[in-house]
Amino acid sequence: MDDLEYTTLADRYFLRKLAGTGGMAQVYQAWDQLRGTEMAIKVIHDLRFFESFVREAVALRDIAHPNIVRFYSVEKDDEKGIIFIVMEWVEGRDLQRILKKRGGPLGIGEVTSILQGIQRALQYAHKLGICHCDIKPANILLKDADDQPVLSDFGLAHVAHDKGAGGTLAFMAPELFIKGGEYSVSSDIYALGVTLYQLLSGHLPFHGDTKDRLIREHMGKTPPRIQSFNPKVPDGIARVIEKALAKNPSQRQGSVMELWSEFYKYAQTVEQKRLKEHKQPLEFDDVINAKARSKKTMVPDQPILSSHPPKCFISYSWDSTRHRKWVRGLAEKLAENGVETHLDQWDIAPDDQLPRYMEKSVRDADCVLLVCTPLFAQKANGSKGGVGYETTIVTGEIFVGESVDRKFVPLLRSGSAADALPSYLKTKAYIDFRHNVDFDAGLEELLRHIYDQPKFRRPHLGKKPTFD
Protein backbone atom coordinates (compact mmCIF):
# COMPACT_ATOMS: atom_id res chain seq x y z
CA MET A 1 0.00 0.00 0.00
CA ASP A 2 1.30 3.41 -0.92
CA ASP A 3 2.06 5.84 1.75
CA LEU A 4 -0.28 8.76 1.12
CA GLU A 5 1.10 11.19 3.67
CA TYR A 6 1.18 14.73 2.26
CA THR A 7 -1.17 13.78 -0.56
CA THR A 8 -4.30 15.79 -1.26
CA LEU A 9 -7.41 13.73 -2.04
CA ALA A 10 -10.31 15.08 -4.07
CA ASP A 11 -8.61 18.46 -4.17
CA ARG A 12 -9.71 18.97 -0.64
CA TYR A 13 -8.32 16.63 2.02
CA PHE A 14 -4.66 17.07 2.80
CA LEU A 15 -3.39 13.87 4.45
CA ARG A 16 -0.98 14.97 7.14
CA LYS A 17 -0.13 11.86 9.06
CA LEU A 18 -0.79 8.13 9.05
CA ALA A 19 -2.65 7.46 12.28
CA GLY A 20 -3.03 3.70 12.09
CA THR A 21 -3.37 0.68 9.87
CA GLY A 22 -6.12 -1.89 10.22
CA GLY A 23 -7.10 -5.05 8.40
CA MET A 24 -8.46 -3.40 5.27
CA ALA A 25 -7.51 0.24 5.50
CA GLN A 26 -5.20 2.97 6.60
CA VAL A 27 -6.43 5.87 8.66
CA TYR A 28 -4.90 9.32 8.16
CA GLN A 29 -5.20 12.52 10.08
CA ALA A 30 -6.21 15.02 7.42
CA TRP A 31 -6.99 18.68 6.96
CA ASP A 32 -10.28 19.44 5.24
CA GLN A 33 -9.56 22.60 3.33
CA LEU A 34 -13.20 23.32 2.66
CA ARG A 35 -14.51 23.00 6.18
CA GLY A 36 -11.25 24.26 7.65
CA THR A 37 -11.10 21.44 10.14
CA GLU A 38 -9.34 18.22 10.99
CA MET A 39 -10.80 14.95 9.69
CA ALA A 40 -9.94 11.27 9.80
CA ILE A 41 -9.69 9.72 6.35
CA LYS A 42 -9.92 5.96 6.08
CA VAL A 43 -8.42 4.78 2.82
CA ILE A 44 -9.58 1.50 1.32
CA HIS A 45 -7.56 0.19 -1.59
CA ASP A 46 -10.34 -1.53 -3.44
CA LEU A 47 -12.72 0.32 -5.71
CA ARG A 48 -15.03 -2.67 -6.08
CA PHE A 49 -16.89 -1.91 -2.88
CA PHE A 50 -17.67 1.71 -3.64
CA GLU A 51 -21.35 1.23 -4.43
CA SER A 52 -21.92 -0.88 -1.31
CA PHE A 53 -20.22 1.74 0.85
CA VAL A 54 -22.34 4.48 -0.65
CA ARG A 55 -25.50 2.48 0.09
CA GLU A 56 -24.47 2.05 3.74
CA ALA A 57 -23.47 5.68 3.99
CA VAL A 58 -27.04 6.91 3.59
CA ALA A 59 -28.01 5.57 7.03
CA LEU A 60 -24.71 6.33 8.69
CA ARG A 61 -24.83 10.03 7.93
CA ASP A 62 -27.76 10.40 10.31
CA ILE A 63 -25.92 9.02 13.30
CA ALA A 64 -24.96 11.83 15.64
CA HIS A 65 -24.05 10.89 19.17
CA PRO A 66 -21.31 12.02 21.58
CA ASN A 67 -20.02 8.44 21.91
CA ILE A 68 -19.92 7.72 18.18
CA VAL A 69 -17.28 8.92 15.73
CA ARG A 70 -19.16 11.19 13.33
CA PHE A 71 -19.35 9.81 9.81
CA TYR A 72 -19.42 12.29 6.92
CA SER A 73 -19.07 10.67 3.54
CA VAL A 74 -17.66 7.98 1.30
CA GLU A 75 -15.70 9.31 -1.66
CA LYS A 76 -13.41 7.87 -4.27
CA ASP A 77 -10.34 8.83 -6.19
CA ASP A 78 -10.38 6.92 -9.47
CA GLU A 79 -6.91 7.96 -10.46
CA LYS A 80 -5.37 6.57 -7.31
CA GLY A 81 -7.80 3.63 -7.26
CA ILE A 82 -9.00 4.19 -3.73
CA ILE A 83 -12.18 4.68 -1.76
CA PHE A 84 -12.00 6.83 1.30
CA ILE A 85 -14.28 7.40 4.22
CA VAL A 86 -14.37 10.83 5.76
CA MET A 87 -15.08 10.92 9.47
CA GLU A 88 -14.53 12.97 12.58
CA TRP A 89 -10.93 13.09 13.75
CA VAL A 90 -10.63 11.89 17.33
CA GLU A 91 -7.59 13.04 19.24
CA GLY A 92 -7.09 9.99 21.37
CA ARG A 93 -5.99 6.39 21.44
CA ASP A 94 -7.74 3.10 20.84
CA LEU A 95 -8.24 0.43 23.48
CA GLN A 96 -6.31 -2.16 21.50
CA ARG A 97 -3.23 0.03 21.78
CA ILE A 98 -3.88 0.75 25.45
CA LEU A 99 -4.23 -2.97 26.20
CA LYS A 100 -1.00 -3.72 24.41
CA LYS A 101 0.86 -1.02 26.25
CA ARG A 102 -0.54 -2.11 29.58
CA GLY A 103 0.38 -5.74 28.89
CA GLY A 104 -2.50 -6.83 31.11
CA PRO A 105 -6.17 -6.24 31.88
CA LEU A 106 -7.79 -2.90 32.64
CA GLY A 107 -9.39 -2.27 36.04
CA ILE A 108 -13.10 -2.88 36.72
CA GLY A 109 -13.57 0.86 37.22
CA GLU A 110 -11.98 1.74 33.90
CA VAL A 111 -14.01 -0.88 32.05
CA THR A 112 -17.21 0.29 33.73
CA SER A 113 -16.74 3.86 32.63
CA ILE A 114 -15.84 2.74 29.09
CA LEU A 115 -18.89 0.48 28.93
CA GLN A 116 -21.11 3.28 30.17
CA GLY A 117 -20.26 5.38 27.11
CA ILE A 118 -20.31 2.50 24.66
CA GLN A 119 -23.69 1.16 25.79
CA ARG A 120 -25.18 4.63 25.32
CA ALA A 121 -23.85 4.70 21.77
CA LEU A 122 -25.15 1.22 20.99
CA GLN A 123 -28.58 1.80 22.48
CA TYR A 124 -28.93 4.93 20.39
CA ALA A 125 -27.90 3.21 17.15
CA HIS A 126 -29.90 0.05 17.80
CA LYS A 127 -33.00 2.20 18.23
CA LEU A 128 -32.32 3.60 14.77
CA GLY A 129 -32.07 0.03 13.50
CA ILE A 130 -28.32 0.20 12.89
CA CYS A 131 -25.91 -2.41 14.21
CA HIS A 132 -22.23 -1.72 14.66
CA CYS A 133 -21.06 -5.07 13.22
CA ASP A 134 -17.44 -4.73 14.37
CA ILE A 135 -17.28 -3.97 18.09
CA LYS A 136 -13.75 -4.58 19.34
CA PRO A 137 -11.10 -2.68 21.34
CA ALA A 138 -9.48 -1.33 18.14
CA ASN A 139 -12.75 0.41 17.32
CA ILE A 140 -13.13 2.08 20.71
CA LEU A 141 -11.21 5.31 21.02
CA LEU A 142 -10.67 7.22 24.24
CA LYS A 143 -10.51 10.96 23.74
CA ASP A 144 -7.38 12.55 25.14
CA ALA A 145 -9.31 15.53 26.41
CA ASP A 146 -11.67 13.78 28.78
CA ASP A 147 -11.27 10.01 28.29
CA GLN A 148 -14.76 9.82 26.76
CA PRO A 149 -15.07 6.53 24.87
CA VAL A 150 -16.22 6.78 21.25
CA LEU A 151 -17.08 3.99 18.87
CA SER A 152 -15.62 4.15 15.39
CA ASP A 153 -16.37 2.23 12.17
CA PHE A 154 -20.10 2.02 12.73
CA GLY A 155 -21.86 -0.33 10.36
CA LEU A 156 -19.04 -0.56 7.85
CA ALA A 157 -17.02 -3.68 8.58
CA HIS A 158 -19.24 -6.03 6.64
CA VAL A 159 -19.34 -3.88 3.52
CA ALA A 160 -15.94 -4.70 2.07
CA HIS A 161 -16.67 -8.38 1.70
CA ASP A 162 -17.94 -10.20 -1.29
CA LYS A 163 -20.36 -12.47 0.47
CA GLY A 164 -22.13 -12.57 3.78
CA ALA A 165 -20.79 -11.30 7.02
CA GLY A 166 -17.37 -9.85 7.35
CA GLY A 167 -15.92 -8.34 10.45
CA THR A 168 -13.19 -9.31 12.80
CA LEU A 169 -13.25 -13.05 13.24
CA ALA A 170 -12.29 -13.11 16.92
CA PHE A 171 -15.35 -11.00 17.75
CA MET A 172 -17.96 -12.56 15.47
CA ALA A 173 -20.99 -14.37 16.88
CA PRO A 174 -21.43 -18.06 15.94
CA GLU A 175 -24.68 -17.48 14.03
CA LEU A 176 -22.80 -15.27 11.55
CA PHE A 177 -20.92 -18.31 10.29
CA ILE A 178 -24.11 -20.11 9.40
CA LYS A 179 -25.49 -19.57 5.91
CA GLY A 180 -27.82 -16.61 5.87
CA GLY A 181 -26.56 -15.42 9.27
CA GLU A 182 -27.03 -11.70 9.65
CA TYR A 183 -25.78 -9.02 11.97
CA SER A 184 -28.22 -8.14 14.71
CA VAL A 185 -28.45 -6.52 18.13
CA SER A 186 -27.56 -9.96 19.47
CA SER A 187 -24.37 -10.30 17.40
CA ASP A 188 -23.33 -6.84 18.64
CA ILE A 189 -23.94 -8.05 22.21
CA TYR A 190 -21.72 -11.07 21.55
CA ALA A 191 -18.92 -8.85 20.19
CA LEU A 192 -19.33 -6.59 23.21
CA GLY A 193 -18.99 -9.70 25.40
CA VAL A 194 -15.72 -10.65 23.65
CA THR A 195 -14.51 -7.06 24.07
CA LEU A 196 -15.32 -7.00 27.80
CA TYR A 197 -13.67 -10.39 28.22
CA GLN A 198 -10.51 -9.10 26.57
CA LEU A 199 -10.47 -5.81 28.49
CA LEU A 200 -10.92 -7.51 31.86
CA SER A 201 -8.65 -10.51 31.30
CA GLY A 202 -6.08 -9.26 28.79
CA HIS A 203 -6.92 -12.30 26.60
CA LEU A 204 -9.35 -13.20 23.87
CA PRO A 205 -11.82 -15.93 24.78
CA PHE A 206 -11.03 -17.78 21.55
CA HIS A 207 -7.84 -17.74 19.59
CA GLY A 208 -7.76 -20.68 17.25
CA ASP A 209 -4.65 -20.43 15.12
CA THR A 210 -6.47 -20.95 11.84
CA LYS A 211 -9.65 -19.38 10.56
CA ASP A 212 -11.53 -22.70 10.68
CA ARG A 213 -10.40 -23.50 14.20
CA LEU A 214 -11.41 -20.06 15.40
CA ILE A 215 -14.84 -20.44 13.86
CA ARG A 216 -15.23 -23.89 15.45
CA GLU A 217 -14.33 -22.42 18.83
CA HIS A 218 -16.96 -19.70 18.47
CA MET A 219 -19.50 -22.32 17.58
CA GLY A 220 -18.75 -24.97 20.18
CA LYS A 221 -16.08 -24.17 22.74
CA THR A 222 -16.66 -22.79 26.23
CA PRO A 223 -14.08 -20.05 26.84
CA PRO A 224 -11.71 -20.33 29.83
CA ARG A 225 -13.11 -18.78 33.01
CA ILE A 226 -12.26 -15.09 32.94
CA GLN A 227 -11.00 -15.32 36.55
CA SER A 228 -8.34 -17.81 35.48
CA PHE A 229 -6.62 -14.77 33.93
CA ASN A 230 -7.79 -12.09 36.35
CA PRO A 231 -8.99 -13.28 39.77
CA LYS A 232 -10.14 -9.74 40.61
CA VAL A 233 -13.15 -10.05 38.30
CA PRO A 234 -16.19 -10.68 40.51
CA ASP A 235 -18.37 -13.72 39.79
CA GLY A 236 -21.34 -11.54 38.91
CA ILE A 237 -19.45 -9.70 36.18
CA ALA A 238 -17.98 -12.96 34.84
CA ARG A 239 -21.54 -14.34 34.56
CA VAL A 240 -22.76 -11.24 32.68
CA ILE A 241 -19.98 -11.73 30.14
CA GLU A 242 -20.60 -15.48 29.85
CA LYS A 243 -24.24 -14.72 29.10
CA ALA A 244 -23.28 -12.26 26.35
CA LEU A 245 -21.08 -15.01 24.90
CA ALA A 246 -23.88 -17.60 24.78
CA LYS A 247 -23.75 -19.62 21.56
CA ASN A 248 -27.48 -19.30 21.14
CA PRO A 249 -28.55 -15.68 20.58
CA SER A 250 -31.78 -16.21 22.51
CA GLN A 251 -29.76 -16.95 25.66
CA ARG A 252 -27.86 -13.66 25.52
CA GLN A 253 -29.09 -10.40 27.02
CA GLY A 254 -32.01 -9.12 24.98
CA SER A 255 -30.61 -5.60 24.70
CA VAL A 256 -27.50 -3.60 25.44
CA MET A 257 -29.46 -1.86 28.19
CA GLU A 258 -30.03 -5.21 29.88
CA LEU A 259 -26.34 -6.06 29.68
CA TRP A 260 -25.36 -2.68 31.08
CA SER A 261 -27.73 -2.79 34.03
CA GLU A 262 -26.54 -6.29 34.97
CA PHE A 263 -22.91 -5.27 34.64
CA TYR A 264 -23.35 -2.01 36.52
CA LYS A 265 -25.08 -3.73 39.44
CA TYR A 266 -21.97 -5.81 40.14
CA ALA A 267 -19.51 -3.02 39.32
CA GLN A 268 -21.25 -0.85 41.91
CA THR A 269 -20.90 -3.57 44.53
CA VAL A 270 -17.16 -3.71 43.85
CA GLU A 271 -16.91 0.06 44.16
CA GLN A 272 -18.84 0.10 47.43
CA LYS A 273 -16.62 -2.61 48.86
CA ARG A 274 -13.55 -0.64 47.91
CA LEU A 275 -15.02 2.44 49.49
CA LYS A 276 -15.56 0.60 52.77
CA GLU A 277 -12.08 -0.85 52.77
CA HIS A 278 -10.27 2.30 51.83
CA LYS A 279 -12.55 4.78 53.58
CA GLN A 280 -12.12 7.20 50.74
CA PRO A 281 -13.55 7.35 47.28
CA LEU A 282 -11.30 5.52 44.89
CA GLU A 283 -12.15 7.07 41.61
CA PHE A 284 -12.03 5.02 38.45
CA ASP A 285 -8.38 4.83 37.47
CA ASP A 286 -8.23 6.65 34.25
CA VAL A 287 -5.77 5.77 31.61
CA ILE A 288 -4.19 9.16 31.15
CA ASN A 289 -3.55 9.52 34.83
CA ALA A 290 -2.05 6.08 35.07
CA LYS A 291 0.31 7.03 32.26
CA ALA A 292 1.24 10.34 33.80
CA ARG A 293 1.71 8.80 37.24
CA SER A 294 4.34 6.47 35.84
CA LYS A 295 6.49 9.46 34.85
CA LYS A 296 9.46 9.50 37.17
CA THR A 297 9.66 13.27 37.22
CA MET A 298 6.18 13.64 38.65
CA VAL A 299 5.81 14.27 42.34
CA PRO A 300 3.30 11.73 43.69
CA ASP A 301 -0.20 13.07 44.35
CA GLN A 302 0.49 16.16 42.33
CA PRO A 303 -2.40 17.00 40.05
CA ILE A 304 -1.60 15.49 36.72
CA LEU A 305 -0.64 17.48 33.64
CA SER A 306 -3.74 18.86 32.10
CA SER A 307 -4.98 16.26 29.65
CA HIS A 308 -4.43 18.91 26.98
CA PRO A 309 -0.81 19.86 27.32
CA PRO A 310 0.09 23.18 25.73
CA LYS A 311 1.22 22.68 22.16
CA CYS A 312 4.28 24.55 20.94
CA PHE A 313 5.49 24.79 17.39
CA ILE A 314 9.12 25.83 17.04
CA SER A 315 10.03 27.73 13.93
CA TYR A 316 13.71 28.19 13.14
CA SER A 317 16.12 28.51 10.27
CA TRP A 318 18.94 26.10 9.55
CA ASP A 319 21.89 28.26 10.40
CA SER A 320 24.25 25.45 11.34
CA THR A 321 24.30 21.96 12.80
CA ARG A 322 25.09 23.46 16.17
CA HIS A 323 22.09 25.75 15.94
CA ARG A 324 19.77 22.87 15.07
CA LYS A 325 21.14 20.89 17.99
CA TRP A 326 20.40 23.79 20.30
CA VAL A 327 16.83 24.00 19.00
CA ARG A 328 16.36 20.27 19.60
CA GLY A 329 17.77 20.70 23.11
CA LEU A 330 15.25 23.45 23.79
CA ALA A 331 12.44 21.23 22.48
CA GLU A 332 13.52 18.46 24.82
CA LYS A 333 13.54 20.78 27.81
CA LEU A 334 10.03 21.95 26.96
CA ALA A 335 8.86 18.36 26.60
CA GLU A 336 10.35 17.54 30.00
CA ASN A 337 8.22 20.33 31.36
CA GLY A 338 5.03 18.85 29.98
CA VAL A 339 4.81 20.88 26.77
CA GLU A 340 3.85 19.04 23.59
CA THR A 341 6.56 20.31 21.28
CA HIS A 342 6.63 20.16 17.48
CA LEU A 343 9.71 21.10 15.55
CA ASP A 344 9.24 22.74 12.19
CA GLN A 345 9.79 20.07 9.55
CA TRP A 346 9.30 22.16 6.46
CA ASP A 347 11.98 20.07 4.73
CA ILE A 348 9.77 16.99 4.59
CA ALA A 349 6.63 18.69 3.26
CA PRO A 350 6.54 18.73 -0.53
CA ASP A 351 6.77 22.24 -1.97
CA ASP A 352 3.16 22.49 -3.04
CA GLN A 353 1.97 21.41 0.41
CA LEU A 354 4.28 23.67 2.33
CA PRO A 355 1.89 26.60 2.84
CA ARG A 356 -0.77 24.26 4.17
CA TYR A 357 1.68 22.42 6.37
CA MET A 358 2.83 25.71 7.85
CA GLU A 359 -0.64 27.04 8.30
CA LYS A 360 -1.78 23.89 10.00
CA SER A 361 1.21 23.81 12.32
CA VAL A 362 0.75 27.42 13.28
CA ARG A 363 -2.99 27.07 13.67
CA ASP A 364 -2.72 23.95 15.85
CA ALA A 365 -0.20 25.43 18.23
CA ASP A 366 -1.02 27.25 21.43
CA CYS A 367 2.36 28.93 21.13
CA VAL A 368 4.62 29.45 18.15
CA LEU A 369 8.22 29.96 19.19
CA LEU A 370 10.27 31.82 16.62
CA VAL A 371 13.99 31.25 17.13
CA CYS A 372 15.38 34.52 15.85
CA THR A 373 18.82 34.83 14.29
CA PRO A 374 19.99 37.18 11.53
CA LEU A 375 19.43 34.40 8.98
CA PHE A 376 15.90 33.81 10.29
CA ALA A 377 15.10 37.51 9.89
CA GLN A 378 16.59 37.55 6.41
CA LYS A 379 14.42 34.60 5.30
CA ALA A 380 11.33 35.92 7.01
CA ASN A 381 11.70 39.41 5.59
CA GLY A 382 12.43 38.04 2.15
CA SER A 383 9.53 35.54 2.42
CA LYS A 384 11.83 32.63 1.61
CA GLY A 385 11.40 28.94 2.45
CA GLY A 386 9.28 27.65 5.30
CA VAL A 387 10.07 30.61 7.51
CA GLY A 388 8.91 32.85 4.70
CA TYR A 389 5.54 31.10 4.40
CA GLU A 390 5.13 31.51 8.07
CA THR A 391 5.60 35.24 7.75
CA THR A 392 2.76 35.31 5.27
CA ILE A 393 0.63 33.30 7.62
CA VAL A 394 1.47 35.34 10.69
CA THR A 395 0.99 38.65 9.02
CA GLY A 396 -1.89 37.50 6.83
CA GLU A 397 -5.56 37.51 7.60
CA ILE A 398 -5.70 34.37 9.65
CA PHE A 399 -3.86 35.39 12.75
CA VAL A 400 -4.37 39.10 12.79
CA GLY A 401 -6.19 39.74 16.00
CA GLU A 402 -5.91 39.38 19.71
CA SER A 403 -4.42 35.86 19.74
CA VAL A 404 -1.32 37.01 17.86
CA ASP A 405 0.19 38.65 20.84
CA ARG A 406 0.00 35.62 23.05
CA LYS A 407 0.67 33.08 20.39
CA PHE A 408 3.89 34.20 18.76
CA VAL A 409 6.93 34.38 20.98
CA PRO A 410 10.25 35.58 19.58
CA LEU A 411 13.31 33.97 21.16
CA LEU A 412 16.43 35.94 20.43
CA ARG A 413 19.18 33.41 19.82
CA SER A 414 21.95 35.36 18.12
CA GLY A 415 22.75 38.81 16.76
CA SER A 416 20.98 41.90 17.97
CA ALA A 417 17.25 42.47 18.16
CA ALA A 418 17.56 44.86 15.23
CA ASP A 419 19.27 42.21 13.03
CA ALA A 420 17.53 39.07 14.19
CA LEU A 421 13.85 39.93 14.68
CA PRO A 422 11.86 39.88 11.45
CA SER A 423 10.07 43.11 10.74
CA TYR A 424 6.68 41.83 11.89
CA LEU A 425 8.14 41.01 15.30
CA LYS A 426 10.09 44.17 15.84
CA THR A 427 7.68 45.62 18.33
CA LYS A 428 7.19 42.46 20.36
CA ALA A 429 9.00 41.63 23.58
CA TYR A 430 11.44 38.80 23.09
CA ILE A 431 13.01 36.27 25.42
CA ASP A 432 16.76 36.41 25.40
CA PHE A 433 18.41 33.07 24.69
CA ARG A 434 21.75 34.32 23.42
CA HIS A 435 24.95 32.50 24.35
CA ASN A 436 25.93 34.90 27.07
CA VAL A 437 22.64 34.86 29.00
CA ASP A 438 21.39 32.40 31.58
CA PHE A 439 19.52 29.61 29.76
CA ASP A 440 17.53 28.54 32.82
CA ALA A 441 16.24 32.06 33.34
CA GLY A 442 15.10 32.22 29.70
CA LEU A 443 13.46 28.81 29.94
CA GLU A 444 11.64 29.82 33.11
CA GLU A 445 10.32 32.98 31.47
CA LEU A 446 9.21 30.99 28.45
CA LEU A 447 7.44 28.33 30.55
CA ARG A 448 5.69 31.02 32.54
CA HIS A 449 4.41 32.49 29.30
CA ILE A 450 3.33 29.13 27.91
CA TYR A 451 1.49 28.10 31.06
CA ASP A 452 -0.02 31.49 31.69
CA GLN A 453 -3.51 30.32 30.84
CA PRO A 454 -5.95 28.69 33.24
CA LYS A 455 -6.58 25.77 30.89
CA PHE A 456 -3.00 24.54 31.31
CA ARG A 457 -1.57 23.26 34.52
CA ARG A 458 2.13 23.29 34.87
CA PRO A 459 3.54 19.98 36.11
CA HIS A 460 5.42 20.05 39.33
CA LEU A 461 8.84 18.63 38.62
CA GLY A 462 11.09 16.94 41.11
CA LYS A 463 14.19 18.87 40.17
CA LYS A 464 14.99 21.98 38.28
CA PRO A 465 16.00 21.13 34.74
CA THR A 466 19.51 21.95 33.66
CA PHE A 467 20.73 22.46 30.16
CA ASP A 468 23.97 21.10 28.79
Ligand X SMILES: Nc1ncnc2c1ncn2[C@@H]1O[C@H](COP(=O)(O)OP(=O)(O)OP(=O)(O)O)[C@@H](O)[C@H]1O
Q: Which positions are annotated as active-site residues?
A: 134
Q: How many Cα atoms are found within 13 Å in the side-chain-facing hemisphere of 116?
A: 13
174: phi then psi, degrees, rounded to nearest 5:
-55, -40
Q: Which is nearer to ligand X, 152 or 315 (CB)?
A: 152
- Least distance in Å: CB of 162 to ligand X? 16
Note the residues at the interface with Mg ion (CB under 5 A): 22, 139, 153
Stretch that binds ligand X, among 17-25, 178-186, 195-203, 266-274 (CB under 6 A): 17-25
Q: Which is nearer to ligand X, 87 or 334 (CB)?
A: 87
Q: How far apart are CA 443 and CA 332, in angstroms?
A: 12
Is residue 27 involved in binding ligand X (CB under 6 A)? yes
Give the burial string for 277-298 (b: 16+ CB within 10 Å, else e).
eeeeeeebebbbbeebeeeeeb
Of these partners, ligand X, Mg ion, none, which one is at the site of residue 87 (CB under 5 to 8 Å by kind)?
Answer: ligand X
Contact 154, 171 (CB under 8 A): no
Nearest residue to the partner ligand X, using Cβ: 22
**Which CA distances in Å does 46 have to 107, 155, 158, 251, 271?**
39, 18, 14, 38, 48
Is residue 298 involved in binding ligand X (CB under 6 A)? no
Is residue 90 involved in binding ligand X (CB under 6 A)? yes
- Least distance in Å: CB of 191 to ligand X? 12
Q: Which is nearer to Mg ion, 167 or 309 (CB)?
A: 167
Which residues are registered as beta bridge partners of 31? 14, 38
Of these partners, ligand X, Mg ion, none, which one is at the site of residue 41 (CB under 5 to 8 Å by kind)?
Answer: none
- If DSSP codes are grouped into helix, strand and coil, which group holds residue 300? coil
- If DSSP codes are grouped into helix, strand and coil, which group holds residue 108? helix
Is residue 60 involved in binding ligand X (CB under 6 A)? no
Amino acid at 328: R
Is residue 23 involved in binding ligand X (CB under 6 A)? yes
**Which CA distances in Å does 113 have to 106, 232, 238, 263, 458?**
11, 17, 17, 11, 27
Is residue 151 involved in binding ligand X (CB under 6 A)? no
Q: Which is nearer to ligand X, 87 or 375 (CB)?
A: 87
- Dihedral angle sign, alpha carbons of residues 241, 245, 167, 221: positive
For ligand X, what does the binding mask look like between residues 128 and 147, x meaning CB under 6 A? ----------xx--------
Cβ neighbours of residue 435 under 8 Å, at least 6 residues apart? 414
Position among 4, 15, 25, 421 found at the interface with ligand X (CB under 6 A): 25
Contact 108, 232 (CB under 8 A): yes
Q: Which is nearer to ligand X, 25 or 115 (CB)?
A: 25
- Least distance in Å: CB of 82 to ligand X? 13
Under DSSP, the state recorded for 64 is: -
Stretch that binds ligand X, among 81-89, 347-355, 423-431, 448-456 (CB under 6 A): 81-89
Of these partners, Mg ion, ligand X, none, which one is at the site of residue 337 (CB under 5 to 8 Å by kind)?
Answer: none
- What residue ranges bind ligand X (CB under 6 A)? 19-25, 27, 40, 42, 69, 87-90, 94, 138-139, 152-153, 168
